[in-house]
Amino acid sequence: MDYTGKKCPICSEKFKADDDIVVCPKCGAPYHRSCYEKEGRCIFLDLHRSNEAWKDEEDNTQNEQENTKTKKCKFCGHMNDENAVACEQCGRSFIEYQYQNMNDNGGNPNQDFEGFPGFGGGTPIKIDLMAGVKPDEDFDGVSGEELSKYVKNNTIYYMGIFKRIKDTGKSRFNFAAFLFGGGWMLYRKKYVSGGIITAIMAILAMAITYATYFISASVLNTVAQNLNQAYPRGYTVMDFFNAICQLPFDQGLIAILPYALSFLNFVIMLIIGFTANRSYYKFVIKRIKAIKSEQSIAITNGVSDDSQVYESNKKKLNEKLMEKGGTNNALAVCLLICDMLLSFLPQFFIH
């Protein structure tokens, strides 16, 4: 048997073609003769007791890696790791699925749900969840594959948005962020900014409720009573606001306070909706770079000299990205429950 290139179990040096090699008669482990004589025996006594044969560790590692390469590219035939999102050889994306009609009108579901798009046509369509982004495409020092691993959920929307930001500098309005604000940020694991915005919006919501029922209520009730007397058959919204404008300055401020706070709340929601995608893009890039730095893993577009080390590091990085990224579904449910409680809480104090 040719042991050239395999490692001596004692000195860990690779065997050369002209090395003097001895083999254990019980388990078949190879040694440099000098190493074996220095040790005085085979070091694999556990294999002797179990009557097992020696196996090279590198062969085992290679077999394990080959066992994970179960995904065949339909374009070039190359075998890839089972978790790969694109072919290692030709770069074609594996994340393509066909979605069948989901309603009687022939509409197709679109996974772009955080952007709230419309529905497609009536024929089955192919959707690339990488949104046309190549796995090795550079995004400010981060690859497209790394971005998709971190985003994890709803990649078809965010990968398309990220590419748009990178290529044109333009973004899109995010309806989910507009409606849920800090809750969306926390769902997307932007815990610091999400916590701050959630606290601001919660305080603002409570202020609107308090102003409506405990500060402005008496003034608005007086205005309504006067209007009922002046217009027995009913009055318009314009009549109501004209009456408020005729109030003394301080009374007018009290009357419009809930509306002013509601307008401020709406402005904040609009700002979040317009800036959410761009801020999330910057956040994801920053987090991926931090994770790569923490793990001391340098994954580049080039090919490592040691392919086994490269693949091992890449796998560790992808696992870490998916662990740290994605969404926090449990927190989203808790926030929804808390929002419902806050909505009904003022009723207990009013009645």
Within this chain, do residues 45 and 188 fall inside the same structural domain, yes or no? no
343 and 195 in one domain?
yes
The three-state DSSP-derived secondary structure of 164-178 is HHHHHCCCCCCHHHH
Q: Categorise residue 234: left if φ over 0, alpha if ψ from -120 to 50, beta otherwise.
A: left
Q: Any idea which residue has 């740290």 for tokens? A: 324
Are residue 50 and residue 181 in the same domain, yes or no?
Answer: no
Confidence (pLDDT) at 96: 47
Assigned domain for 346 exists:
yes
Read off the pLDDT of residues 293-331 as tens digits, 9 standing for 90 and up: 876 644 444 444 456 666 777 788 888 888 888 898 888
Q: Is residue 6 part of a domain?
A: no
CA-angle at 105, arms to 103 and 111, nearest 5°: 55
- pLDDT reading at 122 higher than 90: no
Q: Is the pLDDT of residue 350 over 80?
A: no
User: Does residue 303 lie within any of the structural domains?
Assistant: yes
Q: Tell me which H or E stretch contains 21.
A: strand 21-23
Q: What pLDDT digit, counting tens, does each position of 325-339 carry?
A: 889 888 878 877 776
Domain that holds residue 278: 175-350
In a domain, 150, yes or no: no
Answer whether residue 231 is part of any domain.
yes
Q: Does residue 326 fall inside a structural domain?
A: yes
Q: Give a yes or no: residue 121 inside a domain.
A: no
Token pair 């610091």 is at which residue? Answer: 192
d(CA 110, CA 140): 28
**Number of structural domains in the chain:** 2
Task: Note whether 51 and 183 are same-domain residues.
Answer: no
**pTM of the model as a whole:** 0.59
Q: Rounded to an integer, what distance in angstroms lies between the CA atom of residue 89 and that of residue 63?
A: 20
> Is 191 inside a domain boundary?
yes
